[in-house]
Amino acid sequence: MSLGLKRGTVQLEPHDKQWDDVAVQTIKTLKSILGDDAIDIQHIGSTAIPAIKAKPIIDIAVGVTDFEKIMSHNEQLEKEGIFYRGSDVEHQVLYVMGDMEADIRTHHIHIVKWNGTEWKNYIHFRDYLNANENVALQYEKLKEELESKYADDRVAYTKGKQNMINKISRK
């Protein structure tokens, strides 16, 4: 199984069933640490969409009511290899997993308000693409085009996907 990419790079891989297993294990670990401070935890992103290729980085959404309660678990999360990365994206806190010394990321853990806009967007996007394979394949085609242009510029790659993500999210 291929898992992890150097930060800032883009490389798409065919879907790997083991990604689901890794996500389930990560969710169990998060639940054991966060307890009731996490209302729901779900595997999101392209690794949760079997019909398409994905960057081999597991995305997890953690729905919470209070960001501060999650921050109080930072020491315990770090012991499990889950590191606070920051809150660069509005209405979100990001944690990462991977080989920090080699700057390789295997997981992005997005802490968002449960049932808020970001939570709904993550869940509905995943569910819509899983229910509409033709749209998922169009999304994959865009991702492949962007990968060929921006293999070393994940910011540009992500920006290039945004219009399509927004269109799908509105559906």
**What does the pLDDT look like over 68-77, one tens digit per residue?**
999 999 999 9
Q: Is the pTM of this model over 0.85?
A: yes
What are residue 136's phi and psi, to 5 degrees? -60, -40
Region of poorest pLDDT, from 27-31, 68-72, 86-90, 139-143 = 86-90
55: exposed, middle or buried (Cβ count in 10 Å: 0-12, 13-18, 19+): buried
User: Quick one: pLDDT band at residue 88, thresholds 50, 70, 90?
Assistant: confident
- pLDDT, one tens digit per residue, over 102-140 is 999 999 999 999 999 999 999 999 999 999 999 999 999
